A and B are shown apart, each in its own frame.
Chain A
Amino acid sequence: MKVSIIDYGAGNIYSLRAALRKIAPEVDTAYTSNLEELAASDKLILPGVGNFSLAMQRIEALGLRDFLRHQVLERGQAIMGICLGMQLLFEEGTEGGIHPGLGLLPGRVEAFPTGGTLKVPHVGFNGIRVEGDSQLYEGVEHRDFYFIHAYRVRTVGAEVAAIGWCDYGERFVASVEHQNIVGTQFHPEKSQTNGLKLLQNFLDRIPASVPQASAYV
């Protein structure tokens, strides 16, 4: 199997690579922005830390926006977005100004409310409640994962197959699963055995398949 982590200058993928090496040393992992190489991969991972707006600008500059939409929505390539990477899968973000995302999933990214009693950013381990038919959490007994973010998605379209809800102030979307498209707001590579099992599930259980109900193509 070949897994490619999409390189758009998004910073630290050191731990992600180490995690993949640990759980699946036989898997060929690449960190690249080369479109051919990405297209030839069995799975894609979209990482990310930092600023939504800046990230999308870079992605667009590399020609990755249209490429990924085509690969995921039309060719059914499996993709996992992590942290900012998950946020980018959605329609729109508000960090650094309003900016369209990849539009692969229905929803938008907004800031946690500030100025109240809730401490922002959301940093640390928090628990997940899974709704729907989930593949990512199969065999994961303890559902505490590591979060470090100031923006989040509050609702997703009803057609999304499985949602992992997290409570922080109010509930927000911590993970999404929709056929070949999955994403986690938390960092599985930072979440001890819980996260490693989840990453393994991405490798083992998330198939390539063209997503239905793609009203955003």
Chain B
Amino acid sequence: MFKKRLIYVLLYRNGKFCLSRNFRLQTIGDKQWLFNNYNFGYVSKYIDELVILNVEGESVDWSRYFENVQFVLDNVFVPVALGGGIRDLETARRCFEVGADKIVLNTSVHTNPGLIEEVARVFGAQAVVASVDYRREDNRVYIENGKRAVEDQPLEAYLTALQGLPIGEVLLTSIEKDGTGFGFDTETIQRVLPHVQVPLIVAGGAGKKDHFLEVAHLDGVDAFCTANLLNFIGEALPDTRRHLVENAIPLAHFDL
């Protein structure tokens, strides 16, 4: 039976890991902090995928990013997606070399769809996750870490247009819910479901385990994630998985 996925997202910037609230970042700690409070060698057994996004913006220190990625992934055996600021094939390649199974493209999807074609040709379409950040207020997609609106088309049209590109999945994030602990933007998610033909990952607003129940049952939502770095330390992710399973959400089971 096909399972849904609980995905955890790390936001990385300048050697530190951050919490985001409506795309405003608060630096929390470095890789040692992460190790002390998350210990992915243990926690990774309770999630289905790990995403490590670089949110440095315009100019990215890739070497330092990859260094941190390798530290996090040491002894971690979980599907991994890397991304944030990827603008060319070479950077995408480096992501795969360091352990990524998929890369996440956001701004490039809009400004350089040719890159998707390139990556898909070499690594397969399934290796590309198209990340879409939106505001419900104006029903628009925002690129460049939420700074610039794609004015000329509403969210639904943008998602529909994505189907013409060789992508594997869509990661849909609500900017207004991001980091707020208000729960997911279920209204928008349900509204746009028919416009996404590839696997859909939803994000933005989860603060506690109950929030995931708002979206996990929805037909058409294949995976749900959180980037909340503070709320899920220690046992919180394992607790979340247990809670979802107890509430009949189909998640993978792993031998002890």
Which A residues form the contact surface with B (CB < 8 A)? 11-12, 14-15, 18-19, 22, 49-51, 54, 84, 119-127, 140-142, 144, 146, 148-150, 167-168, 187, 189-197
| Any A CB within 8 A of the CB of B185 | no
Question: Are A192 and B126 interface neighbours, CB within 8 A?
Answer: no
Question: Are B77 and A15 interface neighbours, CB within 8 A?
Answer: yes
Can you add 19 more A-B contacts, CB < 8 Å, to A22-B77, A50-B123, A125-B48? A12-B96, A49-B101, A50-B127, A51-B124, A119-B198, A119-B222, A121-B126, A121-B199, A125-B5, A125-B251, A126-B3, A127-B2, A127-B3, A146-B79, A150-B124, A168-B2, A190-B77, A192-B78, A193-B254
Question: Are A187 and B79 interface neighbours, CB within 8 A?
Answer: yes
Question: Are B100 and A12 interface neighbours, CB within 8 A?
Answer: yes
Q: Which secondary structure dominates chain B's binding surface?
A: loop
Looking across the interface, which residue of chain B has its beta carbon closest to that of A189? B77
| Distance, CA A146 to CA B169, complexed state (A) | 15
Question: Are A12 and B101 interface neighbours, CB within 8 A?
Answer: yes
| Any A CB within 8 A of the CB of B248 | no
A116 smallest CB distance to B (angstroms):
9
| Distance, CA A43 to CA B139, complexed state (A) | 55
B216 smallest CB distance to A (angstroms):
13
| Distance, CA A187 to CA B124, complexed state (A) | 15
Question: Are B1 and A167 interface neighbours, CB within 8 A?
Answer: yes
Name, among A11, A84, A120, A122, the residue most crowded by chain B CB atoms within 10 Å (CB to CB).
Answer: A11
Which B residues form the contact surface with A (CB < 8 A)? 1-5, 45, 48, 75, 77-80, 96-102, 121-127, 168-169, 197-200, 222-223, 251-256
| Distance, CA A18 to CA B44, complexed state (A) | 15
A67 smallest CB distance to B (angstroms):
24
Looking across the interface, which residue of chain A has its beta carbon closest to that of B255? A193
Question: Are B4 and A22 interface neighbours, CB within 8 A?
Answer: no
Question: Are B126 and A150 interface neighbours, CB within 8 A?
Answer: yes
Closest 10 CB pairs between A and B? A125-B252, A144-B252, A121-B126, A142-B253, A192-B254, A125-B3, A14-B99, A193-B255, A12-B96, A190-B79
| Distance, CA A197 to CA B255, complexed state (A) | 9
Q: List 8 A-B contacts (CB under 8 A).
A: A12-B99, A22-B77, A49-B101, A120-B198, A126-B3, A141-B255, A144-B252, A196-B77
Cβ contacts under 8 Å, B198 to chain A: 119-121
| Distance, CA A91 to CA B48, complexed state (A) | 33
A21 smallest CB distance to B (angstroms):
10
Cβ contacts under 8 Å, A187 to chain B: 79, 101
Question: Are B255 and A22 interface neighbours, CB within 8 A?
Answer: no
Question: Are A142 and B255 interface neighbours, CB within 8 A?
Answer: yes
Contact of A49 among B5, B48, B123, B223 (CB under 8 A): B123
A1 smallest CB distance to B (angstroms):
21
| Distance, CA A93 to CA B222, complexed state (A) | 28
Cβ contacts under 8 Å, B169 to chain A: 121, 123
Looking across the interface, which residue of chain B has its beta carbon closest to that of A148? B126
Looking across the interface, which residue of chain A has its beta carbon closest to that of B47? A192
Contact of A144 among B3, B45, B126, B256 (CB under 8 A): B3
A12/B124 contact (C-beta < 8 A), A119-B222, A120-B198, A123-B169 known: no
Contact of B101 among A119, A150, A190, A193 (CB under 8 A): A190
Question: Are A15 and B99 interface neighbours, CB within 8 A?
Answer: yes
